[in-house]
Amino acid sequence: MASALRLVGAAVRLLPSTSAVHYLDAGGISVALAAGLEAVLGGLREMHADAAALQNAADTVFDALYAMPAMPTLPASGANAPTPA
């Protein structure tokens, strides 16, 4: 049972990243993480001409996203959004 719970926890932690990667790869519904991830990966492509170095750098980014304890809560938008002071 404990190993099943660990697998579920891992899947939940991967969901935001996999949703962002899917959006960047195939399109569809945008997720909040996609724009930032696209910017970071674009910067890495500029920094690393060598494919192996680019892969190592990208791996570090995805490892950090996986290690993130929870997705931050984004402010609401639209009619219910708080108004600036």
Answering whether pTM is above 0.95, one says: no
Average pLDDT over the chain, rounded to an integer: 74
pLDDT per position as a tens digit, 70-83: 655 555 555 554 55
User: Higher confidence at residue 3 or residue 85?
Assistant: 3
No. of H helices and E strands in the chain? 3, 0
Q: Where are the domains of the chain?
A: 14-67
Instruction: Take residue 49 and report the two structure tokens written for it.
Output: 């001409």
